[in-house]
Amino acid sequence: MMLLMVNSTGIPLEIERKFLLIGDSWRSQVVGEPKRLSQGYLCADSEKSVRVRIAGDFATLTVKGSRNGISRLEMQYTIPVADAECMLALCPSPLIDKTRHILMHAGLKWEVDIFHGENDGLRIAEVELESENQPISIPEWAGKEVSHDPRYYNSQLVKEPFSRWESDNCGSCLENV
């Protein structure tokens, strides 16, 4: 089964903004139960990525194109969890291990990811949009925007995990966190 995130033009696009998380006030806006995600990349370069993800008893294979601003082609397919487990074994280490919380703010669904393992300490809030110019209300718990910083792409966190960032390389990545 293919799951498409189709925008108003009918093209399967992911349009996403990412922010570092500030404090814990976001926790009062969580909807539903958090999900633990494990994901890896069969392929990841500047032109494309192929991601395998397991979230409980649900698994997906996602193909993404290169970024153009905060947009990129995205096609997602549901796959059997057993197949995803086999595919994750083919992915380079470390796998991305994170807990995802869903929140609603100003009519939009936000996802807060709390990373574990080699990316422990990293906390990101992201929101998917219908267009790059869609106005949004940025919540008080969303800090510095990192949408255009490739260090924060999950596919890059496999290659250069957060725990390996040097403080001078990271700059103010945890400012106000």
Q: Answer for the pair 101, 111: CB distance below 8 angstroms, yes or no.
A: yes
As given in the structure block, the two tokens for residue 9 are: 């033009």
What is the rounded distance in angstroms from the CA atom of residue 63 to the CA atom of residue 68? 15
Give the residue numbers marked as catalytic.
Answer: 41
The residues, any chain, with a CB within 8 Å of residue 106's CB and separated by 6 or more, are 136, 137, 139
Q: Answer for the pair 13, 124: CB distance below 8 angstroms, yes or no.
A: no
What is the rounded distance in angstroms from the CA atom of residue 165 to the CA atom of residue 6? 35
As given in the structure block, the two tokens for residue 111 are: 């996802």
Residue 165: how many other CB atoms lie within 10 Å: 18
